[in-house]
Structure 1
Amino acid sequence: MVIVLGAILFALGICVSVALHEAGHMLTAKAFGMKVRRYFIGFGPTVFSFKRGETEYGLKWIPLGGFCDIAGMTALDEVTPEESKRAMWRFPTWKRTVVLSAGSAAHFILGFLVLYIMGVTMGLPDIEAAQKQPDATVSSISACVRPATTQAEVDQQKKQVLCQPGDLAPAKAGGMLPGDRIDSINGKPTKTWEEAVKLIQVSSGPTQFVVQRGGQPVNLTIDVPAIARLQTDGSVKTFGMIGAARSNAVPAPLTYGPIDGIGGAIHHTGVMFDQTFQRLIEFPSRIPAVWNAIFGGERDPNTPVSVVGASIIGGEAVDRGLWEIFVYLLATLNFFIGVFNLLPLLPLDGGHIAVTWYERVRDLLRKARGKVAGGPVDYTKLSSVTMVLVFLGAAVTLLTVTADIVNPIHLP
């Protein structure tokens, strides 16, 4: 029940973000004198609405988005004679750009405020320190490896592993020591701990390891057994284990005072932007892994998630009392949505900004040649490209939602 309530709370947090996104468009449009017809949260049938001034405000049943209806946002938008002078496309390029980018700006401001509040209360994760830790270095060697096929066995092993006579101790028997850095397994290099674990899990029998010890390479042969383990989804899987572990110690969070917290939040905002751009670049290459996860493959925690998946992780964080993860995930999502929405692709805001500046550059070139300014871009000529992008976006959304339902990402 706590997980469900946490997931609902996270979904509400996303709804607030969407509401602020659309509010950014609305407030800047009104400030410049553009006519805002409607401001609604959600889609589908209307729950309620009211009119204040010239704008209708309301809530719809499906809280998965929202919209701000500005008169004359494109040349295709029909406007009344009364609205014509205040149509958005008539305003200067810079004003239209401010209005179109205000939604993403709202996400960035909200993300910054969340990071600032975290910094002066619960602390911000030290991402840079975590990235510097040696991922493939062994910190401890287990006295034995034992199967755990029930929750009771899992709980017992979390407290203490009670080795029995005859239990296997592969890493210990093979000569591996704490401090060894695993360089390769069966000739395959392991740059990270995650890569080493994946190779060990698919290994069986005598396996060749090369480790760095005291600055020198050491060759080891470890007999990798198959061990049955209970998974988070309740199933039992068998995979290779050797009884070597990496320290799970997390760098201490960075805490700030009310004043230096501003600088800390600014620095961490830069880190968030860097991480977001990296995830966007990797996004297309992660899609095949999402497809495989739907049909029984192991879900890579680095694959994209939908609102459903993010809410599941948020719910699990609440269930465990890990509010810092819950709040940080909300901040991360705001930065991602903000950057993604600025991509120069229709129907995203970034696509409308690109069209706006195309008109501006085109008119400057026409003026230089002694010609009058051209009219607004005919969006019907872009409709085919827009529909392709809408279809691809819908397909990716359906794919990630399906994966998050049948094979969701869970907190470790």
Structure 2
Amino acid sequence: MEALAFVIGVVLMIVGLAVSIALHELGHLWPAKKFGVRVGQYMIGFGPTLWSRRIGETEYGVKAIPLGGYISMAGMYPPSPEERERAAAASGSGSASRSGRAGGGFFATMVQDARAANDETLHGDDDERVFYRLPVFKRVIVMLGGPIMNFLFAIVLFSILVTGIGVQTATTTVASLSECVPATTTSECTEADPEAPAAAAGIEPGDTILSVDGQPVDDFAEATAIIQGSSGGPLTLVVERDGTEQTLTVEPATTEASTTEADGTTTTREVGFVGISPTVEYVRQPIWGGTQAAVEQVGAVAGILWQLPVKVWETGVDLVTGQERDPNGPLSVVGAGRLSGEVAAADSPVLNRVAGFLGLLASLNIALFVFNLIPLLPLDGGHVAVALWEGIKRVWAKLFRRPPPKPVDATKLVPLTFVVVVALIGMGAVLILADIFNPVSLF
């Protein structure tokens, strides 16, 4: 049963990833069609086509490898010089010959191939239904549509998680009592340890703590802060038991607690201790809690992505040396699938597993949102950067009363795009190998 649950978790993550990709590409497709751009294909996945159907001028389909997707828009870039010459010759004499490939080596050939592929989507020099002819702001909307769909999907998932299900919170209701005062907050009891203050004071499981030392408390963290910060002497606890309030007096003992700082150093301090364990319940958050969680996750993912090469390098070192990986480091889709399988196979209530899966899928969509905003081709952020650069050039020309500049030919950036793609493939391979042979585990 555990193996079956693991497989179900992996399959659910694959389906969730496919839905996320479909929404991402829909975010590009809808505004592109709205602005009149001719879209030839809308595909989910890469590799061999499993299913497709043409509706109007667009072919919709699913491919075998669900690791991405794309839409094929006409005229992503302006026509190449050869295409312009051919169009001019055709309009003048009715015939033209196709130019050969550009010389200059590997990268020049790549540029020429990119231009040739782009030219095939054009229907003549006067074709208005092409992407590069859109105003700058419309091109930015089309390219940001994909990442924004991932962000909105993450907000929906986080809202279901934190508002519909709730956030696991340590409440002020007592679940159990410690039998003794251990040497440290993480130690086990021994026969030589004294009785815990909470048990000695008459606190019982099921009691709900209303106030500590005259201060009302709404959650267990507030009660713990007061108790641990007590400087000695008895504390007054007001608890609700069987619908009635009772006032109890407890005298905290002193024990040691360890704290790990951001730089990895560990400090030890003495804290007050009474020996109460809280009841953990799902507490529903306000309706804006999902949006707040998504925004906070964006900051966390951005903090990882800006140092992604270093993080991947460290992951590779951990893979080779066999050291334990950073649990907050980057993952591949293989790692996300494994974590989803672990969540599904966990020995916990179904609601906990559902919440874990929703959290993973929401975090994956936040990662897609942030990653695609990186201003490098072939990512969406790279296309946005190209459009904005053209907009800046147009504003500059207008300010100084110069002729409007030609559209930016992004095919010239194909060599840089190639380097980025190779780097992404390399980092992805390292993460996939690490997720197979040195995976991060939730448990």
| Cα contact 1:119–1:255 (8 A) shared by 2 | yes
**Correspondence for 1:284:** 309
Which residue among 287, 297, 300 is the counterpart of 1:275?
Answer: 300
The AA in structure 1 aligned to 2:310 is S
Q: Which residues of 2 match residues 49-68 of structure 1 at below 5 A?
A: 49-68=52-71
CA-CA distance at 1:47 after TM superposition: 1.5
5+ unaligned residues in a row in structure 1: which ranges? 128-136, 145-176, 184-189, 197-209, 216-246
Kindly state the Cα deviation for residue 20 of structure 1 after the two structures are TM-superposed. 0.7
- Higher Rg: 2
Within a 5 Å distance, the mapping from 1:208-227 to structure 2 comes to 211-213=268-270
Equivalent in 319, 324, 343 of residue 345 of structure 2: 319
Aligned residues between the structures = 318
Q: In structure 1, what residue type is equivalent to 2:339?
A: I
Instruction: Check the 8 A contact 1:139/1:178 in 2, yes or no.
Output: no
1:299-314 aligned at under 5 Å gives the runs 299-314=325-340
CA deviations 1:301-343 (Å, max 9, x no partner) are 1221100001100111011142211110100110111111011
1:250 and 1:404 mapped to 2: Cα distance?
A: 35
Q: Which residue of 2 aligns with 1:10?
A: 13
Give the deviation of 1:81 after TM superposition.
2.8
TM-score, length-scaled by structure 1: 0.71
The C-alpha deviation readout for 1:59-117, integer Å capped at 9, x for no partner, is: 11212111111111222422123982110110111111111000001101101111111
2:34 maps to which residue? 31
Instruction: Measure the CA separation in 1 of the matches of 2:319 and 2:399.
Output: 56
Are the equivalent residues in 2 in contact too, given 1:140–1:178 (CA < 8 A)? no
Confirm or deny that 1:44 pairs with 2:47: yes
Match of 1:140 in 2: 186
Q: How far 1:27 sits from its partner (Å)?
A: 0.8
**1:181: which partner in 2?**
257
Partners of 1:331 and 1:349 in 2: CA distance: 20
1:390 corresponds to which residue? 421
Deviates more, 1:85-94 or 1:265-274: 265-274
Contact 2:140 2:384 in 1 (8 A): yes
Aligned residue for 1:275, secondary structure, equals helix
Which amino acid in the other structure matches residue 274 of structure 1? G
Match of 2:166, SS state, is coil
Query: 1:331-342 maps to which residues of 2 (within 5 A)?
Result: 331-342=362-373
The amino acid across from 1:292 in the alignment is V
SS in 1 for 2:165: coil
Q: Give the share of equivalent positions with the same residue, in percent.
A: 34
Looking at structure 2, the residues matched to 350 and 248 of structure 1 have their Cα atoms a distance apart, in angstroms, of 48
Cα displacement (A) at 1:50: 1.4
| Contact residue 386 and residue 410 of structure 2 kept, 8 A | no
Displacement of 1:192 in angstroms is 6.2
Shift of 1:178: 7.0
> Scaled by the length of structure 2, what TM-score is found?
0.66
Q: Is the 8 A contact 1:180 1:213 kept in 2?
A: yes
After the TM superposition, which residues 12-161 of structure 1 pair with which residues of structure 2 at under 5 Å, given as runs? 12-75=15-78, 76=115, 77-78=118-119, 79-81=122-124, 84-124=127-167, 138-143=184-189
Q: Give, as a single letter, the amino acid of the residue that structure 2 aligns with 1:181.
A: A
**How far apart in 1 are the matches of 2:396 and 2:298?**
34
Alignment partners' CA distance in 1, 2:56 and 2:314: 50
Q: Does the 8 A contact of 1:289 with 1:303 survive in 2? A: no
